[in-house]
Amino acid sequence: NDLSGLLTAVVYFLTNNEFKDLSIHKIDLKIRASEQVKYSYLEKVWLDKYDVFPGERIQVKVYTRNFRGQSVLQEVGLMAPPLPTGSEFYLIVADALAMQQIELAQYKTRGFMPRSLTHLLRVLSNLRKNNRIYFKIMAAKPGLFLKGEELPNLPPTMKMMFTSPRAAMSIPIELEKSTLGEYQYPVPYVFKGAAIIPIKIK
């Protein structure tokens, strides 16, 4: 199941890391079981506006259908990014797995490559959960994916510095789109689904 697979993956990454020999002496788990299957699938995402001013608040309504066939509404408020007039950005609403697949495509990589033990521990501590609705704001802004982390919306001079042969740290992956904001909303069920909504700046 998902829990055993996650535990196996975490143990594998820790005991097979290339930075330091680690041994695990004890694993404490807190598990809350339920006899009901608590799933909810994304039906639609509705915004109160699709043309916004920079910094304007957007009301987002996420409609899901649960395991009983009932429609459930979740509402969140997000701020439009400070982009130039006439530009466009995207709001991505997705579950943990779908968001990971979107990021792997964005970063043009097949998997996760930690740059240090500290980085590995931080990533494992912040693994996405299946009972969250994840929101990501993206726009066509150049960025870099370097040493396992995104460097979004870089100014041209900063981008040149990182891509210069003299930097010689690691080969950066150039990104056509940058992440301008990320949010998560906890829900009392396993959420599944994804949607990408284009929004224009007035």
Phi, psi of 37 (to 5 degrees): -85, 110
The reported pLDDT for the residue numbered 199 is 97
176-201 pLDDT, tens digit each: 788 899 999 999 889 999 999 999 99
Question: What DSSP assignment string belongs to 110-160?
Answer: SS---SSHHHHHHHHHT---TTEEEEEEEES--EEEETTEEE-S--HHHHH
Q: pLDDT value at position 41? A: 96
Write phi, then psi, for 23 (nearest 5 degrees).
-130, 140
Pick the range with the lowest mean pLDDT from 42-46, 59-63, 93-97, 100-104. 100-104
What number is the average pLDDT over the span 165-174?
59
> In this predicted model, what pLDDT tens digit does every residue of 35-82 receive, in sequence order?
777 899 999 999 999 999 999 999 999 999 988 889 999 999 999 999
On whether the CB atoms of residues 63 and 45 are closer than 8 A, the answer is yes
Task: Report the Cα 11 to chain-centroid distance in Å.
Answer: 22
Percentage of the chain exceeding pLDDT 90 = 41
For the chain, the structural domain boundaries read 38-114+125-201
Closest CA to 153 of 89, 70, 66, 110: 89
Token output for 91: 């709001």
Across 22-28, average pLDDT: 82
Q: According to the model, what pLDDT value does residue 121 have? A: 79
Would you state the pLDDT for residue 18? 79
Q: Tell me the pTM.
A: 0.78
Give the tokens for residue 180: 């301008």
What per-residue confidence (pLDDT) applies to 153?
A: 60
Give the single-character DSSP code of 161.
H
pLDDT-above-70 percentage for the chain: 78
Pairing of strands 132-139, 194-201: unpaired
Q: Summarize the confidence of residues 123-137 as an average pLDDT.
A: 87
From residue 104, how far is each of 16, 180, 182 by CA, in Å?
A: 22, 17, 16
Burial level of 134, CB count in 10 A (0-12/13-18/19+)?
buried
Mean of pLDDT over the chain: 82
Provide the pLDDT confidence category of residue 21 given band limits of 50, 70 and 90: confident
pLDDT at 168: 46
